[in-house]
Amino acid sequence: NVNSISVLILAYLFGSIPTAVWIGQAFFNIDVREYGSGNAGATNTFRVLGKKAGIPVMLLDILKGWTATNLAYMIGLATTGPVGSLPFTNFQLALGIAAVMGHLFPVFAGFRGGKGIATLFGMILAVNLPSALLCVSVFIAVLLITRYVSLGSIMAGFMYPIGVTFIFPTYIKSVIIYGMCMCVLILVTHQKNIERLIRGKESKVNFFKKKEV
Ligand code: G3P
């Protein structure tokens, strides 16, 4: 119905807020898409502008996914689903996906956005908290061991469908299917990173310096 379509559009617009681009332009007079990996996401903001910009971008991007996914609940279109509680309706999943699409293809930034990791994380935080925490643990472990953010994102992406199916099972078919699609989406958005990883050219995080090497 009309209500659901308007809320979906709202979720897309919400996801479209290009935090990395706007924070870079407003406070540093820099479009992060012209530097580093060229990605309008938290990782590249950390890389180009340091943690002062990276942390707010990361938090706001997570918030975008979380809020969009909970929009239906907030405005009374769904009775289930605030803050990681199950069951989740397909409509709520669709809202999260709309926000992720906004992040990837932002109407407010020429449709050149990010790779969706922080926004997807916000979304899965809203859908299934234990599995989201499992993913973040995998992400941090891979990042600490390899110093590749992209590899951490990809491994966390693999962990989500495993988490919602076997470790903290939701028994909700749409959540499991969503998890698998999310994993594929991450592989698609990280194609260039995967190529660089294979060639040994992916940039590593240097935890002891402000910028990456
Ligand atoms: O969050 C995206 C991350 O996995 C990779 O970002 O800038 O290194 O391509 P980037």
Long-range contacts of 36-42 (CB under 8 A, 24+ apart): 36/203, 36/212, 37/192, 37/193, 37/203, 39/114, 39/115, 40/106, 40/109, 40/112, 40/113, 40/114, 41/113, 41/114, 41/115, 41/116, 41/117, 41/118, 42/114, 42/117, 42/118
Report the atom number in ligand 1 closest to the C-alpha of 202.
8
For the cut 90, the answer to whether the pLDDT of residue 99 exceeds it is: yes
Q: List, for residues 144-166, the tens digit of each pLDDT value.
A: 999 999 999 999 999 999 999 99
189 lines ligand 1 (CB under 6 A): no
Residue 200's pLDDT band (cuts 50, 70, 90): very high
Averaged pLDDT of the chain: 92
Q: How far apart are the CA of 202 and the centre of ligand 1, in A? A: 10
Q: Which of 55, 67, 63, 53 is nearest to 21 (CA)?
A: 53
User: Does pLDDT of 24 surpass 80?
Assistant: yes
Residue 52 pLDDT > 50, yes or no? yes
pLDDT score at 213: 41
Q: Is 119 in the pocket of ligand 1 (CB under 6 A)?
A: no
Of the chain, the percentage scoring pLDDT greater than 90 comes to 77
Asked if this assembly's ipTM is beyond 0.90, the reply is yes
Which residue minimizes the CA distance to atom 4 of ligand 1? 150
Quote the ligand 1 centre to 197 CA distance (angstroms): 12
Nearest-CA residue for ligand 1 atom 6 is 43
pLDDT at 81: 56
Ligand 1 atom, smallest distance to 150 CA: 4
pLDDT at 90: 84
Specify the range with the lowest mean pLDDT, choosing from 18-27, 77-86, 133-142: 77-86
The verdict on pTM exceeding 0.95 is: no
